[in-house]
Structure 1
Amino acid sequence: MAGTAVQQRLPRQRADASRNYDRIVAAAGELFVERGAEVPLDEIAQRAGVGNATLYRHFTSRQALIRVVVLTLMSGLTELAERVAVEESDPFEALRRFVHASADSHIGGLCSVLSDWLDLGDADLCVAQDRMERAFESLLGRARESGQVRSDVAIGDLIVPIVQLTRPLPGTARALLDPFAHRHLELLLDGLRAPQRSVLPGSTVTLEALRRSTQRLNGESCVPPRGEAAA
């Protein structure tokens, strides 16, 4: 009988543990944007509605929690891009929906405060980054091939503004940033529309160009440009 009782409790315990895990990751993402990467872990636990012991049972260190927050962010954005591509028959509307929904993830704020805590050679992060970028590229490419997006833009022309517009200015509350980000992202989308009304200076911002810039800044690169073997 005792064994049966334990077996009956296990599914509930696993479900509770999974919910607590998700709450911790969500709360950490919010507080990292609001307060920075060094926000006290007990504040994360408090916002998640769990005890400190529960947080440390799931995450043995701050860096482990940050890693999962970033992996969750990239996985969520990948799934978002893939989902809207299936659900929206109009390629430009799929792109619009993705751009605005991705802004709600506050990718720019998380990137700016967490980048120094990440191991850019982490295999899981590299795979997640590459999958995410391919999903982004596919979404933009579909809109470009439909003739709705100007032909002289590349994925970097989309990623850079999204990151910049979702990065809070010092002293700016996140709640004040959101409406401005969506307003300016709509201006960005208007600028992407074909036919183009101006000639863009410089060259298209490809993923390879972004990665080379990252490599120059950080001294290392997560994923090598496509077609090049990893060192």
Structure 2
Amino acid sequence: MATAAAPAERSRRVVRPRADALRNRERIVAAAREMFVEFGPEVPFDEIARRAGVGNATLYRHFADRAELIREVVCSVMDRTSEQAELALAEEGDAFGALRRFVHAAAEERIGALCPMLSGDFDKEHPDLDEARDRLEGLVEQLMARARTAGQLRTDVAVGDLMVALSQLTRPLPGSGCVNFDQFVHRHLQLFLDGLQAPARSELPGTAATLEDLRQKACKA
């Protein structure tokens, strides 16, 4: 019996990541996320490893190249933002209040940093990205649908409109040198959210954008 069980036990030990390996991976992703926000996706790997408190060899064991690390960071940001959407849906009774809470929480997750990373040279159709993107889009649509049904959200906006504005309003202008940019983010988001509320004061030009619209345009660019 002991002999028969040994191969299975060895197999389980091989496929199950060690706790310290998981911690290192999480630290690398967290450090990369911070540094991508601060310096852009081309920040040197050794700087990321230094901030994560690991060696370069450890970083490369987890992520063979920059594209793999960027993809993991993008998925991590979208997953964390999705969790904020789930909390807003579960805990807020007011429909527009839930949407407002999500937008401000998403800004804290630095989702605006996704745009320059998504324009990089890596597989934008990877299954992990598709799954994270679909989850986020579905949750944001739920938030918007609730507010729309309650008559609190204007009817001529879609998920893509919200995410574009959120991305643009949560990252400083290139070369602006605005070191205190964060103090304006939530103020400007509040102005934007006021413009989303129904009844609308004007008719928007063009058509509402979905995340799929944005992805197709990005792929063609």
1:165 maps to a residue whose letter is: L
For residues 200 and 131 of structure 1, the distance between their equivalents in structure 2, rounded to whole angstroms, comes to: 27
Q: Is 1:132 the equivalent of 2:143?
A: no
Separation (CA, whole Å) in 2 of partners of 1:78 and 1:174:
29
Contact 1:149 1:192 (8 Å CA) reproduced: yes
**Any runs of at least 4 consecutive aligned residues in structure 1 with deviations exceeding 6 A, and if so which?**
none
The alignment of Structure 1 onto Structure 2 pairs a total of residues equal to: 206
- Secondary structure of the residue aligned to 1:194 is coil
The structure-2 alpha-carbon separation of the partners of 1:167 and 1:118, relative to structure 1 and needing over 3 Å to count, comes to farther
Partners in 2 of 1:202 and 1:160 — Cα distance?
A: 15
**2:119 aligned partner:** 115
Distance verdict in 2 for CA 1:25–1:207, change over 3 Å: closer
Rounded Cα–Cα distance in structure 1 between residues aligned with 2:178 and 2:163: 20
Aligned-pair identity in percent equals 58
Scaled by the length of structure 1, what TM-score is found?
0.81
Alignment of 1:179 with 2:183, yes or no, is: yes
Task: Determine the C-alpha separation between the residues in 1 that align with 2:36 and 2:210.
Answer: 29
Q: Deviations over 1:164-199 (max 9, x none)?
A: 112332234685222222111100110111122222
Q: Tell me which residue corresponds to 2:100.
A: 96
Does the C-alpha gap of structure 1 residues 46 and 116 become closer, same or farther in structure 2, counting only changes over 3 Å? Answer: same
Distance 1:43 1:212 in 2: 33
CA distance in 2, matches of 1:208, 1:66: 20
Contact map agreement 1:33 1:113 (CA 8 A) in 2:
no
Unaligned 5+ residue runs, structure 1?
A: 1-9, 218-231
For residue 52 of structure 1, the aligned residue among 52, 56, 61 is: 56
Name the CA distance, whole Å, in 1 between partners of 2:217 and 2:183.
30
Q: Tell me the distance in 1 between the aligned counterparts of 2:178 and 2:48.
A: 17
Q: Which residue of 1 aligns with 2:30?
A: 26
Residue 200, structure 1, aligned to residue 212, structure 2: no
Distance 2:52 2:177 in 1: 20
In structure 2, the residue matched to 1:4 is none
State the secondary structure of the residue aligned to 1:117.
coil
Structure-1 residue corresponding to 2:73: 69
1:37/1:114 contact within 8 Å kept: no
Query: Mind listing any 5+ residue stretches in structure 2 that lack a counterpart?
Result: 1-12
Residue 190 (1) aligns with residue 215 (2) = no
1:151 alignment partner, SS class: coil
Structure-2 separation of matches of 1:29 and 1:207 = 22
